[in-house]
Chain A
């Protein structure tokens, strides 16, 4: 069918944006990370090398994994405050079940992921079916899980991770640590899942406009629940890896990841109000935060200044990522292209 388009359309000579605001944000963040790593050589010659890059990648892999889940939850207009407790749960379960042997590893890890996904699913159920605000539901779930871990271990987690996991955390292939490779593989999978799969597209639609998604035939509640389940499983996986890295679990092992997981997502350019998210940006956010923190530690900066600077970086990133800034950047790109 051939139709004449209305006059308004003909007059409208706008072009679809070649650089979406998200891709600009992602680019900016990665350039910042690179600048920071190689720029730090100026400050101290021991920094800024490839080895520092490897350390940053290694350390950020835990954050990247839980930030993926957090990103999905934020995408569907939620917030997952149970990240810390789920990391602890993952760590405690893995050391308890493995007891320092490799036996049954093949069902223990999937089992842990399943249990935690179930716990996340319960949060999702409360949020979607009982309309409990996400903030409250995940906070309460975090409290409950933490308190179960505390009661179960009576305060001190025992046991050790499987030796093969310890070995995994320490091995290198062509000079690249295995966890880094694992992270890269996961990044590919997660990016595909979030940006190039029907699942991601549906989740995006739900976050954008739940009512419209419902009318379009998307199972809104099921999608939302799955976001929380995945988030919980991601955190538990990070917990398993952390326990293997530290050769044991502690009850507070997750505490350092809750707020950074949110920060990585928002610094990465996702809207905290949902419906707009990009995992590569989140990865950039996680790298940025980890780089900053490891750089400051290496320079011997005290905890106080370190914290202040971290906060300032988040704030500056937020200020730079506002829509108005994008608009001007976009017009700059347009003029130059």
Chain B
């Protein structure tokens, strides 16, 4: 069978940084083809080149045996290539219809089309792709994250005539069945799909073959049916991955209580009672949007409760600002999920990023320079496994994984005894994950306490010494260490009572 897409020796440099160095792969018509690789392996660069956002420095892409070199999204669409991006590309204060049809929302070039007819055209697109619960007239800003992701996907689906590129398409989707139905629908017409995901079980479910990238080069293409996970990991990281072993941890609820809430209420929370003890890693599981985000931001001092109380180290406190949260003994350090928007100072050095809490709390006149900062930051950097030579780099130039290490090192710098981590390993590579895990274990061994949320159940199972499940603004389950399993967490996450049985069956 002739290949739909053939990529030969594709390379891309950003200044001195090599992002892609020789990618070769082919995609068959009607195939769902996965791209696997650690973060920083070059997946997103490949996506950007194929979808016309950036152009390559060398190599060729041929579509149906004709060479193409898309230089814009529109040009790629003209070739029949459409992409659903990981960072959603919707305009918040516009209607769903306008977003789906952009950049040609009205059909006339210089003359407006009536709103009703625009809505109607968009409605037809939505119906074609089985989205029945979102009106084409609603404003995107009013939709939930999952709904927005579906709109993003619908837009790509509707433009894909030859190749559909999906970059982490299920990051915000509660379940994959809708998406997989649409993918089958598309492949039955002979359209190929390039599927990028961190979730290997999903990849196995929907994809036939996978190409593995490592450090910007393709390591080869495999038939997914013929390889096991271990082989894939080996291709991805270059050596066998350390066997994921469940580190047995006793429920250490005998440490002193560092953080306690009583009937905590806010917009999404409906009375949260929890206790965090010294020496424990308290996991929090939950589906998207059950109030966990608000809970964590409350601890971080970014959000105010409407009622209820928070006790930190025995005293009732109001966490009115992040500064207050850091100052109240024994100190709460919050690491948010959004690295770029709430975490890093892109044009400051990694050392300056890590040591900023030291200066935030002192007066204005204290002297500071690069050497002082590197000295201050070195220890924290070592604890999170950040290579010392990165300390002098501008953080904006580091990979996502290293940026995350910088943020965690900053949290350690604060000297706080309580770490509040919201999805600390989201979108980071396997190596960084291991560093983060060992930092977390080390931290609680030293008498600290961690409360963390993760969207990956396996991570919660692996790390938590106790795990809470939130559902609809309430804690619905409190699972002790020896009872934690992905099935149990998944079941509770879908709500108490009868919902539990169904999803358990689904999960098994």
**A and B in contact, CB less than 8 Å:** yes
Query: Which residue from chain A places its CB closest to the CB of B428 in the assembled complex?
Result: A6
B110 part of interface (Cβ distance < 8 Å):
no
Chain A hits for B327, CB < 8 A: 217
Residue pair B323, A7 in contact (C-beta under 8 Å): no
Query: Which residue from chain B places its CB closest to the CB of A223 in the assembled complex?
Result: B364
A8 part of interface (Cβ distance < 8 Å):
yes
Residue pair A1, B382 in contact (C-beta under 8 Å): yes
Q: A215 to B335: give the CA distance in the assembly, Å.
A: 8
Q: Which of B322, B383, B401 contacts A6 (CB 8 A)?
A: B401
Chain A hits for B382, CB < 8 A: 1, 3
Chain A hits for B239, CB < 8 A: 7
Residue pair A196, B367 in contact (C-beta under 8 Å): yes
Size of chain A's interface in residues, with CB distance under 8 A? 41
Chain B hits for A8, CB < 8 A: 38-41, 215, 399, 401, 429, 431
Chain A hits for B361, CB < 8 A: 217
Would A211 and B357 be within 8 Å (CB), given that A8-B429, A217-B322 are in contact?
Answer: no
A209 part of interface (Cβ distance < 8 Å):
yes
Residue pair B383, A1 in contact (C-beta under 8 Å): yes
CB distance from B121 to the nearest CB of A (A): 37
Segment from A37-45, A121-129, A199-207 that makes contact with B: A199-207
A184-208 interface mask toward B, CB cutoff 8 Å, 1 = contact, 0 = none?
0000000010001111111011001
Residue pair B323, A217 in contact (C-beta under 8 Å): yes
A1-32 interface mask toward B, CB cutoff 8 Å, 1 = contact, 0 = none?
10111111101101111000000000000000
Q: Which of A192, A217, A275 contacts B360 (CB 8 A)?
A: A217
Q: A9 to B487: give the CA distance in the assembly, Å.
A: 35
Query: Which residue from chain B places its CB closest to the CB of A219 in the assembled complex?
Result: B323
Residue pair A212, B360 in contact (C-beta under 8 Å): no
Q: A11 to B383: give the CA distance in the assembly, Å.
A: 21
Residue pair A197, B385 in contact (C-beta under 8 Å): no
Q: A24 to B39: give the CA distance in the assembly, Å.
A: 32
Q: A213 to B15: give the CA distance in the assembly, Å.
A: 29
Query: Which residue from chain B places its CB closest to the CB of A218 in the assembled complex?
Result: B360
Residue pair A275, B367 in contact (C-beta under 8 Å): no
B159 part of interface (Cβ distance < 8 Å):
no
B1-34 interface mask toward A, CB cutoff 8 Å, 1 = contact, 0 = none?
0000000000000011100000000000000000
A331 part of interface (Cβ distance < 8 Å):
yes
Chain B hits for A9, CB < 8 A: 387, 390, 402, 431
A182 part of interface (Cβ distance < 8 Å):
no
Residue pair B38, A6 in contact (C-beta under 8 Å): yes
Q: A1 to B446: give the CA distance in the assembly, Å.
A: 13
Q: Which of B238, B345, B414 contacts A212 (CB 8 A)?
A: B345
CB distance from B404 to the nearest CB of A (A): 12
Q: A330 to B366: give the CA distance in the assembly, Å.
A: 32
B218 part of interface (Cβ distance < 8 Å):
no
Chain A hits for B399, CB < 8 A: 8, 12
CB distance from A2 to the nearest CB of B (A): 8
Q: A335 to B343: give the CA distance in the assembly, Å.
A: 34
CB distance from A323 to the nearest CB of B (A): 9
Residue pair A212, B389 in contact (C-beta under 8 Å): no
A-B CB pair tally, cutoff 8 Å: 150
Query: Which residue from chain A places its CB closest to the CB of B399 in the assembled complex?
Result: A8
Query: Which residue from chain A places its CB closest to the CB of B352 in the assembled complex?
Result: A201
Query: Which residue from chain A places its CB closest to the CB of B349 in the assembled complex?
Result: A16
Considering residues A198, A215, A327, A330, which has the most beta carbons from chain B within 10 angstroms of its beta carbon? A215
Q: A127 to B394: give the CA distance in the assembly, Å.
A: 29
Q: A49 to B402: give the CA distance in the assembly, Å.
A: 52
A240-274 interface mask toward B, CB cutoff 8 Å, 1 = contact, 0 = none?
00000000000000000000000000000000000
Chain B hits for A201, CB < 8 A: 352, 356, 359, 368
Chain A hits for B16, CB < 8 A: 14, 327, 330-331, 334
Chain A hits for B401, CB < 8 A: 6, 8
Residue pair A218, B323 in contact (C-beta under 8 Å): yes
Residue pair B302, A215 in contact (C-beta under 8 Å): yes
Would A211 and B342 be within 8 Å (CB), given that A16-B392, A217-B326 are in contact?
Answer: yes
Query: Which residue from chain A places its CB closest to the CB of B340 in the assembled complex?
Result: A209
Residue pair B348, A205 in contact (C-beta under 8 Å): yes
Q: A14 to B397: give the CA distance in the assembly, Å.
A: 10
A214 part of interface (Cβ distance < 8 Å):
yes
Q: A196 to B344: give the CA distance in the assembly, Å.
A: 20
A216 part of interface (Cβ distance < 8 Å):
yes
Query: Which residue from chain B places its CB closest to the CB of A277 in the assembled complex?
Result: B347
CB distance from A278 to the nearest CB of B (A): 11
Would A208 and B346 be within 8 Å (CB), given that A6-B401, A9-B402, A198-B368 are in contact?
Answer: yes
Q: A204 to B364: give the CA distance in the assembly, Å.
A: 13
CB distance from B375 to the nearest CB of A (A): 15
Residue pair B334, A209 in contact (C-beta under 8 Å): no
Q: A197 to B401: give the CA distance in the assembly, Å.
A: 29
Chain B hits for A218, CB < 8 A: 323, 356, 360
Q: A197 to B326: give the CA distance in the assembly, Å.
A: 22
Q: Can you report 24 residue pairs joining A to B where beta carbons are below 8 Å apart? A: A3-B382, A5-B385, A7-B214, A7-B215, A14-B16, A197-B365, A198-B364, A198-B365, A199-B365, A204-B348, A205-B345, A209-B341, A209-B345, A211-B342, A212-B341, A212-B344, A213-B360, A214-B302, A214-B322, A217-B326, A218-B356, A275-B347, A276-B347, A330-B15
Given A8-B215, A334-B16, output 4 extra A-B contacts at Cβ < 8 Å: A3-B385, A196-B368, A202-B364, A214-B302
